[in-house]
Chains A and B, each alone.
Chain A
Amino acid sequence: MAFDRSERPRLPTAIKILIAGGFGAGKTTLVGAVSETRPLRTEEVLTDRGIGVDDVSSVEGKRTTTVAMDFGRITLSTDYVLYLFGTPGQERFWFVWDELAEGSLGAVILADTRRLADCFPSVDYFERRGTPFVVAVNCFEGSPTFEVAEVRLALQLNPSIPIILCDARKRDSSREVLIALVKHSAKLRAEPVAP
């Protein structure tokens, strides 16, 4: 950057990573394992037509839904703060995903080997949207052990998409998942700087 950093206000730029996957796959667990505080929850109030919080002119007579998103924060440096957002589970909240996916660095799709099919919608969504993603297989105790190749086959994943075995309860393991995503996203999107 050309300008003097010391002149800038002390305000970091935020980056977000989405943590997706089926219900109970361990999204909030992973967020809590790597974040600097316990997971926080933010809520958007939506009407049953999915109009969102911006239109209350005819709220009467409509059912309202609160979409809750769990998230965590990692302060990376004085310049960057990373936010991890657990995506709302239900597919009827796709429009919330759109807002979350916009400008994101990428997504981690958590897979539970007991219910691998639960992550199909997430895989489809991020493939369609062109958002870089990795698949992290959360290895619960007592869950069936899969080979990475089997998971790749079951999810019909392109060989270029990283699959990582992890334990979402463990900080180091969850951190490795994030590092794998950042490397993958950089490979797809970063442009080398002219010397």
Chain B
Amino acid sequence: MNTPGGVTDGPTDEHWIDPEIIRPYVVTRGRTQPAHGRFDLISMALAVGPLPGPDAGLDPEHLSILRLCREPKSVAEIAAHLDLPAGTIRVLLGDLFDRKLVSAQEPQSEVDMRDVNMYRAVLDGLRSL
């Protein structure tokens, strides 16, 4: 058994787990992989439809994600805003994707890096900053 509060810094503290490490797994109920799909750090997510009510069976973190994603946001941005590791956000996004509450867009792939139109769009965008 772990004994929270048993803080020592010697080599005998092998039962101590930092609460900061535990929180992400409590939020996902121990799950470490999304139910479906693979979310890259810069996969984009957008909330679909109105925010579900309290009877929808969603956790507060799910609702926070939906509120954030009224505008397109990446996994990395969601993680930064909610102060949770990206791995946790992937699991929660998987839940929302399953329930069709978010749509997602995979990032530009290595193959698409040959698309000359993409380079033009990026250059135009940077020049107009």
What distance in Å separates the Cβ of B2 from its nearest Cβ neighbour in chain A? 7
Main secondary structure of the interface of A (DSSP, over half): mixed
Give the segment of A22-30, A158-166, A182-190 that binds chain B. Answer: A182-190
User: In which size bucket is the chain B interface?
Assistant: 35 or more
Cβ of A178 under 8 Å from chain B: yes
Q: Do A45 and B125 touch across chains, with their CB atoms under 8 A apart?
A: no
Task: Tell me which residues across on chain A come within 8 A of B46, comparing CB atoms.
Answer: 9-11
- Taking the nearest CB of chain A, how far is it from the CB of B60, in angstroms? 20
Among A13, A43, A105, max chain B CB count under 10 A is at A13
Q: Are A183 and B123 in contact (CB under 8 A)?
A: yes
Contact digits for A175-195, partner B, Cβ 8 Å, 1 yes 0 no: 100110011011001111100
A95 contacts B by Cβ under 8 Å: no
Q: Is the CB of A14 within 8 A of B114?
A: no
User: Are B127's CB and A81's CB within 8 A?
Assistant: no
- On whether the beta carbons of A76 and B126 are closer than 8 Å, the reply is yes
Interface residues on A, range: 35 or more
Judge whether B122 is part of the interface by a CB distance below 8 angstroms: yes
- Report whether A42 and B114 are in contact in the complex, using a CB–CB cutoff of 8 Å: no
Nearest-neighbour CB distance to chain B for A81, whole angstroms, equals 7
Contact between B127 and A186 (Cβ–Cβ < 8 Å)? no
Contact B80 A40 (CB under 8 A): yes
Residues on B with C-beta less than 8 A from A12 are: 44, 72, 105
A61 at the interface (CB under 8 A from B): yes
Answer whether residue A64 sits at the interface, using C-beta atoms and an 8 A cutoff: yes
A-B pairs, 4 with minimum CB distance: A76-B125, A53-B87, A40-B80, A186-B119
Q: Which residues of A contact B (CB under 8 A)?
A: 9-16, 34, 40-45, 52-56, 59-61, 64, 66, 69, 71, 73-77, 79-83, 85, 99-100, 102-103, 105, 171, 175, 178-179, 182-183, 185-186, 189-193
Q: A13-B106, A191-B115 are in contact. List 17 more A-B contacts (CB 8 A).
A: A12-B44, A13-B107, A14-B43, A14-B105, A15-B122, A16-B107, A42-B76, A42-B80, A44-B87, A54-B33, A56-B32, A60-B15, A69-B76, A76-B124, A81-B72, A190-B114, A190-B119
